[in-house]
Amino acid sequence: MEKITISTLQHCKNCNNKFAAITAYDFSFARLFSNQGIPVILVGDSLGMTIQGNNSTITVEVDDITYHTKAVRKGAPKVFLISDLPFLSYYNVTEAIKNTKKIIQSGSNMVKIEGGKKILHIVKELSDRSILVCGHIGLTPQSIDFLSGYRIQGKTYDDAQRLIDEALLLEDSGIKMLVLECIPSALAETITKKLSIPVIGIGSGKNTDGQILVMQDLLGITEGHVPKFSKNFLNQKNSIQAAIKKYILEVETGLYPDIKHSF
């Protein structure tokens, strides 16, 4: 694999070539995913649930993210690596810069921040310092108590318009990528077309530039509630490697997500 950069992903957007992304938290899976051709890996604060066994992401600390980022980077030296800024680690500019420094120095290419209008100044300050920032709107797990649970966002006209406006404002403030989580497919398509930067969907239909899944969901090893948008790719073959290849192929050819995996 050639080294993946933000320019690589922007070229995918410009050429209408879809790309696959996945979460990873350790060296072994990062190496496996990289060797199968995954171009983008996210060290997500989902590790609070998938690795630490908690009920939400809000328990995750910056040190947790840096620890796992270092491990993933060792396993996947050429992928484009994104790491989450966890809960309350960017509540002001000073904290955002301090914590971003730790994460970038751990090996990440880009930090991901949840939120809309309230974080525009944070995005701008980081971008002005040549830090790549990925936005995240729709269902934002760090705000799960405020949102009263894992609910689809953007279902009403006003809420949909708010998300469109926030996406445009985030791009104007300097984000170089955007994650849309759990919003209707038509809304995700509208936002993707309006933005000039790559848009990655999760539970947001097939018409975004890329897709991301939590690795445990993709491999069918999630216990308990499994999100509707998840698909067990391992169930169709006899190896994790084959499952990853099938996932990449279905994203690139537009087969996944289909109607039953979209809202």
Could you please report the per-residue DSSP string of 227-248?
Answer: -TT---SGGGSSSHHHHHHHHH
- The C-alpha torsion from 94 through 98 and 99 to 105, rounded to 10°, is 150
pLDDT of residue 149: 62
The model carries a pTM of 0.91
Indicate the pLDDT class of residue 106, thresholds 50, 70 and 90: very high
State both tokens at 153: 């966002």
- % of the chain residues with pLDDT over 70: 96
Q: What is the dihedral sign for C-alpha 57, 33, 238, 232?
A: positive
- Is 205 in a helix, a strand, or coil? coil
pLDDT of residue 257: 94
- The C-alpha torsion from 238 through 242 and 244 to 246, rounded to 10°, is -110
pLDDT of residue 222: 78
Residues 6+ apart with CB under 8 A from 34: 1, 41, 75, 76, 77, 78, 79
Q: Indicate which residue of 181, 189, 223, 250 is catalytic.
A: 181
17-63 pLDDT, tens digit each: 999 999 999 999 999 999 999 999 999 999 999 999 998 899 999 99
Mean pLDDT of the residues in the chain: 94
Which CATH number applies to 6-261: 3.30.479.10, 3.20.20.60, 2.60.120.260, 3.30.70.370? Answer: 3.20.20.60
Q: Give the containing element (helix H, strand E) for 122.
A: helix 120-128
State both tokens at 112: 């991901």
State both tokens at 3: 């080294």
Q: Is the peptide bond before 257 cis (omega within 30 degrees of 0)?
A: yes
For range 130-144, the mean pLDDT: 91
191-203 pLDDT, tens digit each: 999 999 999 999 9
pLDDT of residue 262: 87
Annotated catalytic, 181?
yes
Separation between Cα atoms, residue 31 and residue 21, nearest integer Å: 14
Separation between Cα atoms, residue 20 and residue 41, nearest integer Å: 9
Contact of 175 with 186, CB cutoff 8 Å: no
Q: Regarding beta strands 210-213 and 40-43, do their DSSP bridges make them parallel or antiparallel, or are they unpaired?
A: unpaired
Separation between Cα atoms, residue 23 and residue 213, nearest integer Å: 7
Q: Identify residue 34 by its one-letter amino acid code.
A: S
Contact of 134 with 175, CB cutoff 8 Å: yes
